[in-house]
């Protein structure tokens, strides 16, 4: 922004070195230029004192711009810009004021056309930004100036021409779809310009030779222009050194850009590796959790399927086994006696059964009856 303001102040303080507008506007092409009428809402004055009115509104727009009231300033400047051609053609305003108005408009356009806006807190609407970019891309502003000045690019005030090309250069990423279009536009316009000792022609030439051509690796062409131009004859060696310095700066920027790209790619690769490693660790952790859970499930299932084998060594199992062995031992001892006394045992069982039915021994359980029967059988045997 400071760069634009410095150009603006230099333009405002410069004196035009071209023919009066009363001569330049008398061309058949000027009748084709669409002039928009000044909006009376710009100020309380009217067209009663148009020059004073335009000057006051220009000063107001400039003051608002310097105080960073960009929206209000640009609203006034747009209307001043559209009306300034008509005012100049009628000799209502001097060309010096016309140059100031156009340069203020170009300065604000150069700032506001960038959607990033570089932190100056004023953004054009997307539609307006695209409309202005399209007008610049299609040379609408340049064509308006050419029509007004009789299709002679050298009749356009050099301050206006320089500021217009400066807008192209600084906002090339916004205006042009292809980067090479910037080189084509500058080369075409520069070829039409009569190189003379003029501060703005000199700035324009420096911009083209020391910045644009080196940016597109046109060092040989830049050197030839330096040697051929009368602007650099008195300082040829210094100009060639300046070109070499510009080329070195471009190479430094190019290498820095390449290193930044490589560093960015390396950072992206490292981030990708970190993500892959983290994903692997996560999958490994999940697999371990799954295996642990699955192992627990299998263990629980095996224990539920084989309770007998797993319970053989418990105290309860050992007690059952001991009782079983004792029962087998007693059975082995008494089986012969039971075999010989079985008729008596059977008879005793029948007698006890019939007796229980007769006396209604409700409280006598079957176990006691059997035990009693067995004892009676043993007694009968020994008798």
| Per-residue pLDDT tens over the stretch 139-168 | 999 999 999 999 999 999 999 999 999 999
Which residues does the chain have with pLDDT short of 70? 1-49, 115-121, 303-319, 321-343, 345, 351-367, 369-370, 374, 377-383
φ, ψ of residue 103 in degrees (nearest 5)? -70, -35
Distance CA 318, CA 52 (A): 122
The beta-carbon contacts of 184-192 under 8 Å, at least 24 apart in sequence, are 186/212, 189/153, 189/161, 189/165, 192/153, 192/154
**Rounded-to-5 percentages of helix, strand, coil across the chain:** 80, 0, 20
Model pLDDT, residue 45: 37
What is residue 34's predicted lDDT score, i.e. its pLDDT?
29
Q: What are the structure tokens assigned to 190, written together?
A: 């520069």
Torsion angle, alpha carbons of 230, 236, 240, 242, to 10: -90
The 10 Å CB-count burial string (b at 16+, else e) for 44-65 is eeeeeebeebbbebbebbbebb
Cβ-Cβ contacts under 8 Å for 96 (sequence gap 6 or more): 15, 16
Q: Are 226 and 232 in contact (CB under 8 A)?
A: yes
Name the DSSP class of 48: T
CA distances to 24, 25, 26, 158, 187 from 154, in Å: 11, 14, 16, 8, 15
- Find out whether 168 and 182 touch, Cβ atoms under 8 Å: yes
DSSP letter at 209? Answer: I
Q: What is the pLDDT of residue 305?
A: 65
Kindly state the DSSP code that residue 360 receives in the 8-state scheme. T
Tell me which residue of 100, 138, 130, 96 sits closest to 113, measured CA to CA.
130
- How many Å apart are CA 273 and CA 279, to the nearest integer? 10
Tokens of 1: 């922004």
In order, the DSSP letters of 322-346 are HHHHHHHHHHHHHHHHHHHTHHHHH
């Amino acid at each position: 922004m400071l760069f634009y303001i410095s150009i603006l102040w230099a333009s405002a303080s410069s004196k035009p070195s071209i023919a009066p507008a009363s001569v330049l506007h008398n061309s058949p092409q000027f009748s084709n230029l669409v002039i928009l009428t000044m909006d009376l809402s710009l100020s309380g004055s009217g067209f009663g004192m148009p020059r004073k009115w335009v000057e006051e509104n220009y000063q107001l727009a400039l003051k608002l711009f310097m105080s960073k009231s960009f929206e209000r300033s640009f609203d006034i400047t747009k209307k001043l810009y559209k009306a300034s051609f008509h005012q100049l053609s009628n000799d209502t305003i001097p060309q010096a004021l016309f140059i100031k108005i156009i340069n203020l408009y170009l300065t604000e356009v150069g700032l506001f056309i960038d959607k990033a806006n570089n932190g100056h807190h004023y953004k054009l609407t997307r539609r307006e930004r695209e409309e202005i970019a399209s007008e610049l891309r299609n040379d609408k502003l340049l064509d308006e100036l050419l029509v007004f000045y009789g299709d002679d690019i050298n009749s356009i005030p050099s301050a206006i021409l320089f500021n217009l090309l400066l807008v192209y250069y600084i906002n090339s990423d916004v205006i042009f779809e292809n980067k090479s279009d910037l080189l084509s536009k500058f080369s075409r316009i520069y070829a039409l310009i009569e190189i003379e000792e003029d501060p703005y022609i000199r700035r324009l030439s420096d911009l083209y030779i020391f910045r644009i051509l080196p940016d597109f690796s046109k060092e040989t062409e830049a050197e030839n222009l330096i040697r051929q131009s009368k602007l650099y004859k008195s300082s040829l060696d210094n100009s060639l050194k300046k070109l070499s310095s510009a080329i070195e700066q471009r190479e430094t920027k190019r290498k820095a850009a390449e290193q930044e790209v490589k560093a960015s790619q390396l950072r992206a690769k490292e981030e990708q590796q970190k993500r892959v490693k983290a994903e692997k660790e996560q999958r490994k952790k999940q697999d371990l959790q799954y295996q642990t859970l699955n192992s627990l499930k299998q263990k629980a299932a095996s224990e539920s399927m084989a309770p007998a084998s797993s319970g053989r060594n418990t105290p309860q199992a050992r007690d059952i086994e001991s009782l079983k062995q004792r029962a087998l031992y007693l059975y082995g001892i008494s089986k012969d006696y039971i075999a010989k006394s079985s008729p008596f045992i059977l008879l005793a069982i029948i007698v006890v059964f019939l007796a229980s039915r007769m006396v209604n021994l409700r409280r006598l359980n079957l176990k006691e009856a059997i035990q009693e029967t067995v004892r009676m059988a043993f007694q009968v045997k020994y008798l």
